[in-house]
C-alpha cells in the first residue's frame, strides 16, 4: 500500500472557526510533511515531522498548528484563518527523514470565507 490519504477532500470555513485536516499513511514511513499549494504555484513546505517529532517549521503562522499523534497520523489544526490561507493543503510521507522519495496525498482544498 503506497497510499497517503487525506480528509476532508474539501473544507469551507469562516475566519472564526476551528477545524482540522487529517493525513494517514500505513507504509511505515518515519517522516511526514505538510505543504501548502496555491493555484498555479509549486507546493511550499510548511512542517516536517521526523519520528513523530516536529523537526522543521518553515516560519508558519501560529494559526496553523501541526500534530503527530502516532507514526501513521498527521493533523493540521486550523484556527482564525485568513482568506489568503485558502489553498490546497498537501500531506506527504517518506521512509526516512532524508533525501528520499516523498509520497503525496490528494490534498484538502481549503476555502476561508
Partner 1 sequence: GESVGLHLPTLSVQEGDNSIINCAYSNSASDYFIWYKQESGKGPQFIIDIRSNMDKRQGQRVTVLLNKTVKHLSLQIAATQPGDSAVYFCAENSNNFNKFYFGSGTKLNVKP
- CA atoms of 32 and 50, how far apart (whole Å): 7
Q: Tell me the three state secondary structure of residue 36.
A: strand
Residues that bind partner 1 (CB under 8 A): 4, 31, 38-45, 48, 50, 55-56, 84, 90, 92, 94, 96-107
> At its nearest, how many Å lie between partner 1 and the CB of residue 98?
5
* Alpha-carbon separation of residue 106 from 3, 17, 100 (angstroms): 10, 23, 19
Instruction: State which residue, 18 or 81, has the beta carbon closest to partner 1.
Output: 81
> At its nearest, how many Å lie between partner 1 and the CB of residue 100?
7
> At its nearest, how many Å lie between partner 1 and the CB of residue 14?
18
Amino acid at each position: 500500500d503506497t497510499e497517503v490519504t487525506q480528509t476532508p477532500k474539501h473544507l469551507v470555513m469562516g475566519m472564526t472557526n476551528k477545524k482540522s485536516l487529517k493525513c494517514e499513511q500505513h507504509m511505515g514511513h518515519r517522516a511526514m510533511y505538510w505543504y501548502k499549494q496555491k493555484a498555479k504555484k509549486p507546493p511550499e513546505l510548511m512542517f516536517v515531522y521526523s519520528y513523530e517529532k516536529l523537526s522543521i517549521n518553515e516560519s508558519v503562522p501560529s494559526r496553523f498548528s501541526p500534530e503527530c499523534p502516532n507514526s501513521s497520523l498527521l493533523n493540521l489544526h486550523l484556527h482564525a484563518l485568513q482568506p489568503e490561507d485558502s489553498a490546497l493543503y498537501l500531506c506527504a510521507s517518506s521512509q526516512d527523514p532524508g533525501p528520499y522519495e516523498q509520497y503525496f496525498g490528494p490534498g484538502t482544498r481549503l476555502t476561508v470565507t
